[in-house]
Amino acid sequence: MQLSDNKATLSFSDGSAPIEFPVYQGTIGPDVIDIRKLYGQTGMFTYDPGFLSTASCESGITYIDGDKGQLLYRGYPIDQLAENCNFLDICYLILNGDLPNETEKADFDSLVTHHTMVNEQLHFFLRGFRRDAHPMAVLTGLVGALSAFYHDSTDITNPHHRHVSAIRLIAKMPTLVAMAYKYSQGQPFIYPQNDLSYTGNFLRMMFATPCEEYKVNEVVERALDRIFILHADHEQNASTSTVRLCGSSGTNPFAAIAAGVGCLWGPAHGGANEACLQMLEELQANGGIAKVGEFMEKVKDKNSGVRLMGFGHRVYKNYDPRATLMQETCKEVLAALGLENDPLFKLAMELERIALEDPYFVERKLYPNVDFYSGIVQRAIGIPTSMFTAIFALARTVGWIAQWNEMLSDPDYKIGRPRQLYTGSVPRDIPANRK
């Protein structure tokens, strides 16, 4: 942070003396008013439910400009990264700050590849779950359980331990997600295969069986890799803030990431693409394209209770840059799999057309977000709806662990302790007749 020449002055209408606060500048984006001494000087807190105007930390990983529809990983635009890099390149970038050179890439890819297996006892742990358990319930338990097997790298004050934990989490998350899926299907677990790419290996662990050889479809592999890239990090969102808050207590990295998985499960966050596809399937079952206009009119009626999923974003007030890339990927996958006439894709295109033309949606800047198309892509690949959020968690793990490591590397970090505006009862005594 760089101290600005400007200062913020807080004045009071009761005649109290005004107070000055320093202002800090980032490299890009809004400046921040440093209010750390506010309570000590005034006895008051700020009030900001949902943290709409509060910067909770200093970070150099991801930058979003919602008005411009811009997303940067370590300064690189997301569209350039998605076109020119694979997911492990992005992992290296997010963890280390720069894209890898040829040698760094080879070393990093090999390191991740040779950490993809998990302790065999996790198979027995997994069998304690019901077969019909939601994959996110299973994944939360599996990630948290890693700390029981890999406690040799949980000294959070040791940078090397943090690095080892980061590699382990990035490497093992695809294995855990695939295990959760195979368990739900009653199929045997498929072990990692080191001669495949990160994403190709995941596809094989998901869809191969011991009965026959599995060949990775290159178009599908590229599409899923792009989904991973687009979800790798997204600044201080709910799950990332959860990981930071949990990690601020000094807990081990596996517990912190498990907390992030649990937060991501919510339909307002990582479950949004699952909710979006369910909306499309319900609309298709109730008339399809012929009923789109009627459906959109219900969306505009606040009393109807009908919600348009996959449109709008709390941060982006312009088109979500990831949605443009995901739409291209969606077309590529459907064409490669012979699903160009997929009714849900046609339905999605019609919904998008109306939303981009209808003044109601245009004025509210309700543009399609990344969830709108990623669900269709995953469905075409053969990933069931219940697994969508688990795929998201797989991709977001690198962002979570990088943010966690960045926080612990900050000499000024403190345990998170939000304050509140108390509106409950004043001090009172229990009535004497209660005795």
In tens, the pLDDT along 323-342 reads 889 889 988 999 999 988 88
How many whole angstroms separate alpha carbon 381 and alpha carbon 220? 7
Catalytic-role residue among 5, 371, 410, 412 = 371
Given 2.20.28.60, 3.40.1280.10, 3.30.230.70, 3.40.190.10, which CATH number is that of 2-55? 2.20.28.60
Tokens of 265: 């499960």
pLDDT of residue 272: 76
pLDDT of residue 427: 95
The predicted pLDDT at position 435 comes to 65
Active site residue 313: yes
Low pLDDT (below 50) residues in the chain = none
The owner of tokens 């080191």 is 194
CB 149 within 8 A of CB 203: no
- Ranges for all domains in the chain classified under CATH 1.10.580.10: 112-412
Distance separating alpha carbons of residues 204 and 308, to the nearest angstrom:
34
pLDDT value, residue 234: 94
Residue limits of CATH 2.20.28.60 in the chain? 2-55
Task: List, as one string, the DSSP characters of 256-287.
Answer: HHHHHHHHHTSTTTTTHHHHHHHHHHHHHHTT
Task: Tell me the residue type at 350.
Answer: E
pTM: predicted TM-score of the whole model, two decimal places: 0.91
Q: What pLDDT was estimated at residue 208?
A: 97
| Percent composition of the chain: helix, strand, coil (DSSP 3-state, to 5) | 55, 5, 40
Contact 359, 219 (CB under 8 A): no
Report the candidate in 279, 273, 288, 298 with the shortest Cα–Cα distance to residue 350.
Answer: 288
Judged by DSSP in three states, 238 sits in helix
> Among residues 115, 231, 234, 313, which one is catalytic?
313
Site of tokens 């070393």: 107
Q: What are phi and psi of 165, to 5 degrees?
A: -65, -40
Q: In Å, how far are 80, 85, 167, 264, 391 from 232, measured between CA atoms?
A: 15, 13, 15, 13, 11
Residues 198, 174: contact at Cβ < 8 Å?
A: yes
Q: What is the pLDDT of residues 21-48, one digit of tens each?
A: 999 999 999 999 999 999 999 999 999 9
Q: Which of 90, 69, 128, 132 is nearest to 312 (CA)?
A: 69
β-bridge mates for residue 20, sequence order: 9
Helices 253-264 and 159-185 cross at an angle (nearest 10°) of 50
CB 255 within 8 A of CB 412: no
**DSSP tag of 311:** B
pLDDT at position 319, please?
75
Superfamily of domain 112-412: Citrate Synthase, domain 1 (1.10.580.10)
Q: What is the pLDDT of residue 172?
A: 98
**Cα(158)–Cα(166) distance, integer angstroms:** 13
Using a 10 angstrom Cβ sphere, with 0-12 exposed, 13-18 middle and 19 or more buried, the burial of residue 434 is: exposed
Distance of CA 71 to the CA centre of its chain: 14
Q: Which of 236, 199, 177, 202 is nearest to 402 (CA)?
A: 236
Cβ–Cβ under 8 Å, residues 273 and 310 = yes
